[in-house]
Structure 1
Amino acid sequence: MKNWLLILCCVLLSSCSSVSIEDYAREQPTLDLYEFFAVPVEAWGMFQNRSGEVIKRFHVDIRSHRQGEQLILDERFAYSDGSTERRVWTLTPDGEKRWTGTADDVVGEARGEVAGNALHWRYQLRLPVDGSTYVVSFDDWMFLMDRDTLINRASMSKLGVELGQVTLFFRRQPDAE
């Protein structure tokens, strides 16, 4: 009986599939990274540990520009503990729906794919914590809600163990041009 229960659990687990970017291919409005970041953007977010406790809140000012086909995002973070950080992303199209991204604290390249109103990113980030630096993995989903609003939810993990979630709300600031 125990063997059948184990087999049943394995079958059920293997039948679970992850969400595919193509599941959002028909969703509107269509996300165009060049268009969304054509004006200044503000973002507000938080990091929650795996039990759901909010560990850190933050605000981000994002200014961007194009260099040929590349999209450069200059992000300036202000955290609830008073600390600040800057990350400059260089995003490069890699085919019709794919993007790669680099930044000083990203290990290698971020890889992303766009479909409909969604962008799915995966990357590793060097994260400073209490004087040490850890390499953590991000599984990052962004969803365009309307022309000016993008919602981002990212799962952060190390060695396959989830450490927590990052939630961000982006708002275009067209009047700030």
Structure 2
Amino acid sequence: MPVFTAWKRGVRWATLSVACMGLIACASPKPADYAAERPVLDLREYFVGDIDAYGLFTDRSGKVVRRFTVKIKASWEGNKGVLEEDFIYSDGEKQRRVWYLTYEGDGRYTGTAEDVVGEASGEVAGNAFQWRYVLRLPVGDRTYDVSFNDWMYLMDDKVMLNKAVMSKFGIRLGDVTLSFHKR
């Protein structure tokens, strides 16, 4: 009988854990939550011209692991956009990423870049943009596919803030915080 009781207790804990994870997932913000926020973000208007960005990566404990700056040259032609990003990290490493974006209509965007696995997808509502993608991230001699869940918030016509959660297999690895400034 004690084995059966322990088994029942384990099943109850497993059920409770799954239910809690489901509630947490349901509680995640959605772009529509920001539909009434102003100023209204239009990526095709904000990402035009030269933009400077300043950011940092923090690990799970909140410790700053790496700082960086980004020079962005952005342009749109109709519903097609290009963001050329040149990163300079605090340790001197340089990196370049070129995003090819498409406005799909109804606030939805897709995008590709050489180090992005598959296609990124995002949605704008109000002043907020949620952007999800998998980035092929080099670390030492290895490469890891890491999921990003970016949230960008337009503060005014010149400043946008970005907070991204990096994860692998659903486990949070850390956060990227970024501030964009249009010149």
TM-score higher than 0.5: yes
1:58-69 to structure 2, matched below 5 A, reads: 58-69=68-79
| Partner AA of 2:98 in structure 1 | V
1:27-176 to structure 2, matched below 5 A, reads: 27-173=37-183
Q: Gaps (5+ residues) in structure 2?
A: 1-8
Counterpart in 1 of 2:4? none
Change (3 A) 1:41 1:13: same
Greater radius of gyration (CA): 2
Change (3 A) 1:13 1:109: closer
> Within the alignment, does 1:20 sit opposite 2:30 as a pair?
yes
Displacement of 1:94: 1.4
CA–CA distance in 1 between the matches of 2:76 and 2:18?
A: 48
Change (3 A) 1:131 1:30: same
Change (3 A) 1:4 1:30: same
CA–CA distance in 1 between the matches of 2:12 and 2:171?
A: 28
Please state whether the residue corresponding to 2:49 is helix, strand or coil: coil
CA–CA distance in 2 between the matches of 1:143 and 1:137?
A: 20
Displacement of 1:37: 1.5
CA–CA distance in 2 between the matches of 1:9 and 1:160?
A: 15
Runs of 4+ in 1 over 3 A off after TM superposition: 1-16
The one-character-per-residue Cα deviations of 1:14-45 (angstroms, maximum 9, x if unpaired) are: 44421111000010000011111222100000
RMSD value, Cα:
1.8
Work out whether residues 152 and 162 of structure 2, in 8 Å CA contact, stay in contact via their aligned partners in 1: yes
| Partner AA of 1:118 in structure 2 | A
Please state whether the residue corresponding to 1:40 is helix, strand or coil: strand
CA–CA distance in 1 between the matches of 2:109 and 2:125?
A: 12
CA–CA distance in 1 between the matches of 2:121 and 2:147?
A: 12
| Partner AA of 1:23 in structure 2 | D
CA–CA distance in 1 between the matches of 2:49 and 2:85?
A: 13
Please state whether the residue corresponding to 1:94 is helix, strand or coil: strand
Work out whether residues 129 and 153 of structure 2, in 8 Å CA contact, stay in contact via their aligned partners in 1: yes
The one-character-per-residue Cα deviations of 1:60-80 (angstroms, maximum 9, x if unpaired) are: 000012234211000000000
Q: State the percentage of identical aligned residues.
A: 50
